[in-house]
Structure 1
Amino acid sequence: MFFIISSIIHYMQNSKQKVENICVLRTSSLGDICHMLPFIFTIRKEYPNAKISWIIGKNEADFLGNIDGIEFILFDKNNTLKSYFSIYRKLKKIKYDVMFIMQVSLRANIMSLFAEAKMKIGYDLDRSSDLHSIFSNKTIKTSKHSHVVDVFLSFLNFLDIKESNFIYKWEIEERISKKELFEKFSGLQDKYFVLSPCSRSANRNWLIDRYAKVADHINKNFGLQCVLSSSSNAFEKKFTKDIENSMVSNPLNLSGRTNLHELYSLIKYSELLISPDSGPIHIATCAGKPVIGLYGVTNTVRAGPYNSKDLCIDKYNDALLRYRGLRPHEVKWRYKNNNKNVMSLISTDEVIKKIDKYFL
């Protein structure tokens, strides 16, 4: 009897060693790649001897830089067919113990077929689309009100990793030093905040005049320079220029002038980021910076800055009831309030109160 019990204990203690090859499939978007980091750091710690391969977008991998113990298998969305062949050649060489299919898309479905794995773990039916569910043989549990980070971590339940062992870390490689940042952008002052006013979905953007009033309030009351930031997209550059023209104080407009590595450092060495639901919000989480997040189309419960949810203004539930006559439990996890008036529900005073509370 003693021998049997000892054998069972020994097996339980060493069962993780049987997982030797792990494949993770999540190629994009930048925000979700940032959300993936606690999952990645946890699985790397729990399975230090396993070969862990992550199928990830080329640009997203470049943003993260090297992660010890993780092999990047790159997907280039600008060269899809060539990427498919390259990924297929790499995956077919290995028999995986487990594959985590953590993206719902036709591309992800196709790439999941390239790997041979004992377990292919995907989303539950409520979160599935594009026939995602037929490409997995295991699915995570359904949960209505969960943050993306927590949903990603729930995939680890299949490997019996306890929640107490989850690693909530968003550490990435810094490519641009503070010295290099200030040398390139000579107008940058020692104390500044970043206003990144645009999302790739324009209906998530707040109002120009309200952004301007908030920026002037911070400059006047807390002495911080406003640094405007956006992509090189023509609409976004005009949007930030309109904010600049509406301000009383003089911001530094870096719209279209930073790459992702420079943006990371710009946010890292700032005092604060203000932004709607967008990639920069989650870059700020990686940089360890607080975020005033402006939400209405999406909600902070699912997609807010994980460590700054208390600083956000969230009108998702109000908009859902006002424009659709629905409550949160009546809509799917991914549901978005796409009414054009949603973001106008956020008042200037609400944002200023959050800012004052943070600084004071």
Structure 2
Amino acid sequence: MTKPASPAAAVPRRVCILRLSALGDCANVVPVVHTLRAARPDMEIGWVINRTEAGLVADLPGVECLVYDKHGGRSAFRALKRQLAGRRFDALLDMHASWRANRISRLVSAERRIGFDKRRARDAQRLFVRERIPAIASRHVVDGFLAFAAAVGAETPVLDWRVPIPDSDREHAAALLDVARDTRPILFISPCSSHGMRNWAADRYAAAADHAIRAHGMRAVLVGGPSAAEQAMGDSIAAAMQESPTNLVGQTNLKQLLALFEHGRILLTPDSGPAHMANATDIATISLHAATDPRRSGAYRSRELCVDYFAEAAARYRDSTPDALKWGTRIEDDAGVMGLIPVGAVTTRIDQAMTQA
């Protein structure tokens, strides 16, 4: 039987974090790294993480990414096993509850093995750990992650999402935006989540962008990854707009995307990796929620700007309320769920963000 975790007498020196993906979740683990290192600057952290997400966090001070390629099958598992062979950690922070992560966790040798509390755990994670973080009132994933740091004695949270960004990436971002010539405040639109049912419609993004340009003299810049779906969404938004946006979809890596956000006033996005990455900058993030609960996954530093239609989705598609649904429930089984969010709710948030700036 697993027991509640209790802070150790001293913050341990060698810690293994197990969080493979997704991009937004890994971005939200970064404050845990800063919290642990603030409590013990000489801490050595091994982070078992998927290859794509490692591109964001691999150069954090004191962190060694133990990269696992989730598309690599048995050979990837064997490669990770070789990386972990002979290593011994003081504590394993098992921050990924899945059957894949359970199997991987068995490769980690650690004196303490700490997993999620009952509400957050799933896929029988309890069988692979010896302790659990205490139950906390907050639903947000960030607060759940920070409870792991507290469980090993790092009790003062450091709400810092920053990762090192090379000068070359900042220079690339500035060149893409031509910031020396165009000084208008920027509305970035990152329209796609890795879960397609979380995406808003292209014509609605277009209407919100047109409003930002006309009402606030902003510049609309479309960003995203190189996938065909993201390229198509960017093209669709640009075609639906009456004003002219700058389309940079597919033209940046993760660090360069962060460097772009450093120049922005507002980011408009669904519940996505960029929504959480943007916590590393001063940009105001308007995240769109009908398929997911913003109390769990809203952009942490801009929670007051979340557009929240999760209650409407719960009523329509689950005949329930957000509080009655199990923690972590996603309403991603109907293509119309994000259509519950009207353009006016988003333009109101744009107006609010520009007033606060």
TM-score, normalised relative to structure 2: 0.89
Structure 2 match to 1:10: none
1:144, 1:333 within 8 Å by CA — same for their partners in 2?
no
2:224, 2:250 within 8 Å by CA — same for their partners in 1?
yes
Q: Which amino acid aligns with 1:249?
A: E
Match of 1:158 among 151, 157, 182: 151
Structure 2 match to 1:193: 187
Q: Which amino acid aligns with 1:226?
A: A
Task: Find out whether 1:147 has 2:140 as its counterpart.
Answer: yes
1:16, 1:47 within 8 Å by CA — same for their partners in 2?
no
Superposition pairs for residues 191-270 of structure 1, below 5 Å?
191=184, 192-270=186-264
Structure 1 match to 2:3: none
Superposition pairs for residues 107-146 of structure 1, below 5 Å?
107-143=100-136, 145-146=138-139
Task: Find out whether 1:344 has 2:339 as its counterpart.
Answer: yes
Superposition pairs for residues 66-85 of structure 1, below 5 Å?
66-85=59-78
Unaligned segments of structure 2, at least 5 residues: 1-7
Deviation at 1:210, TM superposition (A): 1.7
Deviation at 1:255, TM superposition (A): 2.0
Rounded to whole Å, the distance in 1 between the matches of 2:137 and 2:13 is 33
Task: Find out whether 1:181 has 2:176 as its counterpart.
Answer: no
Rounded to whole Å, the distance in 1 between the matches of 2:43 and 2:255 is 30
Match of 1:48 among 41, 61, 78: 41
Deviation at 1:170, TM superposition (A): 0.8
The 10-residue stretch of structure 1 (300-309 or 66-75) with the greater mean CA deviation from structure 2:
66-75
Q: Which amino acid aligns with 2:173?
A: L
Superposition pairs for residues 3-22 of structure 1, below 5 Å?
15-16=9-10, 19-22=12-15
Go from structure 1 to structure 2 and tell me whether the alpha carbon gap of 1:329 and 1:180 turns closer, same or farther (over 3 Å shift). Answer: closer
The 10-residue stretch of structure 1 (63-72 or 348-357) with the greater mean CA deviation from structure 2:
63-72
**1:108-148: CA deviations, max 9, x gaps?**
11221112222111123333333322111111233465110
Deviation at 1:38, TM superposition (A): 1.2
**1:291-337: CA deviations, max 9, x gaps?**
11111101211001100010111111221122211122221111011
SS in 1 for 2:92: strand
Structure 1 match to 2:290: 296
Deviation at 1:177, TM superposition (A): 4.6
TM-score, normalised relative to structure 1: 0.89
Q: Which runs of 4+ in 1 moved over 4 A?
A: 184-188
Superposition pairs for residues 60-99 of structure 1, below 5 Å?
60-99=53-92
Q: Which amino acid aligns with 1:351?
A: V
Rounded to whole Å, the distance in 1 between the matches of 2:41 and 2:264 is 35
Rounded to whole Å, the distance in 1 between the matches of 2:232 and 2:52 is 25
1:144, 1:329 within 8 Å by CA — same for their partners in 2?
no
Go from structure 1 to structure 2 and tell me whether the alpha carbon gap of 1:348 and 1:256 turns closer, same or farther (over 3 Å shift). Answer: same
Go from structure 1 to structure 2 and tell me whether the alpha carbon gap of 1:92 and 1:243 turns closer, same or farther (over 3 Å shift). Answer: same
Match of 1:357 among 327, 343, 352: 352
- Indicate the percent of aligned positions where both proteins have the same amino acid: 31
Go from structure 1 to structure 2 and tell me whether the alpha carbon gap of 1:210 and 1:277 turns closer, same or farther (over 3 Å shift). Answer: same
Unaligned segments of structure 1, at least 5 residues: 1-13
Structure 2 match to 1:24: 17
Go from structure 1 to structure 2 and tell me whether the alpha carbon gap of 1:227 and 1:126 turns closer, same or farther (over 3 Å shift). Answer: same
Larger Rg, first or second structure (1 or 2): 1
Rounded to whole Å, the distance in 2 between the matches of 1:207 and 1:51 is 44
Rounded to whole Å, the distance in 1 between the matches of 2:227 and 2:52 is 17
Go from structure 1 to structure 2 and tell me whether the alpha carbon gap of 1:69 and 1:272 turns closer, same or farther (over 3 Å shift). Answer: same
Q: Which amino acid aligns with 1:205?
A: N
Structure number with higher relative contact order (C-alpha < 8 Å, ≥ 6 residues apart): 2
Q: Which amino acid aligns with 2:204?
A: R
1:178, 1:269 within 8 Å by CA — same for their partners in 2?
no
Go from structure 1 to structure 2 and tell me whether the alpha carbon gap of 1:316 and 1:259 turns closer, same or farther (over 3 Å shift). Answer: same
2:36, 2:43 within 8 Å by CA — same for their partners in 1?
no
Kindly report the root-mean-square deviation, in angstroms, between the aligned alpha carbons of the 2 structures: 2.2
Q: What is the total number of aligned residue pairs between the two structures? A: 345
More helix by share: 1
Deviation at 1:276, TM superposition (A): 0.8
Deviation at 1:207, TM superposition (A): 2.1
SS in 1 for 2:301: coil
2:49, 2:66 within 8 Å by CA — same for their partners in 1?
yes
Match of 1:104 among 87, 97, 115: 97
Rounded to whole Å, the distance in 2 between the matches of 1:224 and 1:184 is 17
